[in-house]
Structure formats: structure tokens, C-alpha cells
Amino acid sequence: MSTLNDEAARPDRFTRLAENALAACLGVMATAVFVNVVLRYGFGSGIAASEELSRLLFVWMVFIGATAAYPAGEHMAFTGLVGLLKDRPALFGAATLLIRLLVLLGCVLLAWGAWQQVVVGLDSHSVVLGYPVALLPLPAMLCALAIGAMALVEIVRRQPLNLGHGAEVE
């Protein structure tokens, strides 16, 4: 049995999970780069895997952050025109639906392109660490699927756009 508080806590759990994943990625990246810099300048040697690991983690960080930003309404939005329709519910609803359908289309295109890159990268391996190169485009595909699912849920629930700033012109 679900209570209202349980449902309100779901975005908090997702946000907390995303923030922990971002912090872990950033921590590993910072440590790897710091140790590599100290080894290179202090001892004349370095860790070859540091750059490759940092690149992989940075790509994952970007897409984890983008996924976490969507439900929080933190993606860039130009809401000046839509904000003018706030007093006309039918037009505002149509504009909201159009925007969400465009988000869904963008997610489909991103997921399809990323999937093609994942398939191409399955047989290739990174030079130093040897991980499958498919791990680089994989977070883009997962991000597109997650944002697309969230947009689809918003369409089904007929959730109005959150203009968040009183429809100021941007």
C-alpha cells in the first residue's frame, strides 16, 4: 500500500541516487587525474589508464546529470511564447503536448543513434583499459530512454508545463 509520502519521496530517491553516482564519478576522476599529475611531475611516470578512465566517467557523468535534470525542470527552456498562452488553457495544453512530443522525438532520435554506436562499439575495445567501446555511447541511449519515458508519462498524465518563473520572457 502506497501513501502520499511514499510517492513524494520517489523523486528524492532518484535524485539522491543520481547525485551519489555523479559524486562517485567525479571522485574517481579527480583522484585519477590528481595521482597521474603527481606521478608525472614528481616521479617522471604516470598511469596510462587515467586519461581513458576520466573520459569514460565524464561521458557517464554528463548523461546521468542530464537525466536527473529533466524531472527537476532544469533543462534549458524558452518559455516566453508558451507563457503567453497560460490564460488560454486549450492553446497552452496544445503547446505543452507539442513540446513533449518534440522531446519524445528527440529522445527517439538520440536513442536510435546511440544504439547504432553501441552496436558498432561492441567488437572494439579501448586501447589501454580494454573496456568495450560500446560503453561510451551507452549512457546517451540510457539517458534518451529515461527522459523519453518521463516525457511519455507527462503526456499520459496531461501534466502542464512548469514555467517555474512566472513566464518571464527569456
Each residue of 36-60: pLDDT tens digit? Answer: 999 989 888 888 888 889 999 999 9
Same structural domain for residues 83 and 149? yes
Q: Both 46 and 129 in a single domain?
A: no
Average pLDDT score over the chain: 85
* Strand residue runs (E) in 30-123: none
- Three-state secondary-structure class, residue 45: coil
Considering its fold, how many domains does the chain have in total?
2
For the chain, how far is it from start to end, CA to CA, in angstroms?
Answer: 43
Domain range for 86 is: 76-170
- Regarding whether 163 and 132 lie in a shared domain, the answer is yes
Domain end position, chosen among 75, 100, 121: 75
Last residue of a domain, one of 75, 92, 108: 75
Q: What is the pLDDT of residue 161?
A: 78
pLDDT tens digits, 126-156? 888 888 998 899 999 999 999 999 999 999 9
Spacing of C-alpha 60 from chain mean position: 9
Q: What is the pLDDT of residues 64-99, one digit of tens each?
A: 999 998 888 777 776 777 777 788 888 888 888 998
pLDDT of residue 50: 87
CA distance 46 to 41: 9
From residue 150, give the alpha-carbon distance in Å to each of 34, 71, 109, 111, 146: 37, 7, 16, 14, 6
Residues 61 and 83 in one domain: no
